[in-house]
A and B are shown apart, each in its own frame.
Chain A
Amino acid sequence: DAMVIQNPRYQVTQFGKPVTLSCSQTLNHNVMYWYQQKSSQAPKLLFHYYDKDFNNEADTPDNFQSRRPNTSFCFLDIRSPGLGDAAMYLCATSRDSDYEQYFGPGTRLTVT
């Protein structure tokens, strides 16, 4: 089945230690998104790629970076995680900008 895959599902990192979360998709979608979701809140968009074009949300901290080496994969790098970065990180894809988004299962990040 075509799908959005996120690894790992659970990630524990230490305060200040860089961490990378990964997302892959078999849908061959042009657009890939990264969201941060904190408990009982709606997902918050961090940035997205339209093909290779990177688009950062104005309020996304510089601590968050992303890479998309090819159509199928996208990575979220957190350079120096703080306690406030503990959250669920969701990857989503869409065929184009005007189409529905499909989410992966998420990575739960814990910062100790």
Chain B
Amino acid sequence: GQQLNQSPQSMFIQEGEDVSMNCTSSSIFNTWLWYKQDPGEGPVLLIALYKAGELTSNGRLTAQFGITRKDSFLNISASIPSDVGIYFCAGQLAGGTSYGKLTFGQGTILTVHP
């Protein structure tokens, strides 16, 4: 099925650094969601975006719904070791089926060195 292009695939950073990751697509989305998944656990919703241009923060996390509705980014400021995990973007396609099927990015593996 269709996938979002999520980048980077992996990141190795030092504690305290800022992190940025993004998802792009050739299709238009109505909704963008960002999830974090720890090993052996289910994805945890971080931020949900519903309007083009929307900028939303959740603590040290900030995400934006792109104006074109084809992209979204997630920033993490002042990273800490517990930020380690896999981050997935997911979106609901505009004009798609009505039941809210999510299209997922490939994930970004984040490693934070103390």
Contact = CB atoms under 8 A, between A and B. Distances in A.
A94 B100 contact: yes
Nearest to A102: B45
A48 interface: yes
A103 B38 CA distance: 12
Interface string A11-48: 00000000000000000000100000000111101001
B32 to A, nearest CB: 10
A43 to B, nearest CB: 6
A55 interface: yes
The CB with the most chain A CB atoms within 10 A, among B86, B99, B104, B106, is that of B99
Contacts, number: 59
Given A45-B102, A50-B99, A100-B31, A106 B42 contact: yes
B41 A105 contact: yes
Interface residues of B, number: 25
Contacts of A42: 3, 88, 104-107
A90 interface: yes
B30 interface: yes
Interface in B27-82: 30-31, 33, 35, 40-45, 48
A92 to B, nearest CB: 8
Interface of B: 3, 30-31, 33, 35, 40-45, 48, 86, 88, 90, 92, 98-102, 104-107
Interface of A: 4, 6, 31, 40-43, 45, 48, 50, 55, 88, 90, 92, 94, 96-106, 108
Q: Which 4 A-B pairs have the closest CB atoms?
A: A42-B104, A97-B100, A103-B42, A100-B48
